[in-house]
């Protein structure tokens, strides 16, 4: 699964990282919330 969807996962992770950087600059609390959401989705393993 991870081999086939690697490009998609990396693209999503890059978008999430970019969003986290934006939130870090604008609102630290928002960044933490999005990070929690990201951790939940990552631990579930399905995008």
As to burial, measured by CB atoms within 10 angstroms (0-12 exposed, 13-18 middle, 19+ buried), residue 10 is exposed
Give the chain's radius of gyration (CA, Å). 12
What per-residue confidence (pLDDT) applies to 1? Answer: 55
What are the residue boundaries of the structural domains of the chain, listed by start? 6-39
Quote the pLDDT of residue 18.
86
pLDDT in tens, 1-46: 556 778 888 898 899 888 877 766 666 676 678 888 888 888 776 6
């Amino acid at each position: 699964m991870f081999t086939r969807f690697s490009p998609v996962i990396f693209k999503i992770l890059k978008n999430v990282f970019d969003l986290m950087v934006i939130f870090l600059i604008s609102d630290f609390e928002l960044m933490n919330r999005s990070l929690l959401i990201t951790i939940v989705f990552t631990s579930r393993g399905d995008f």
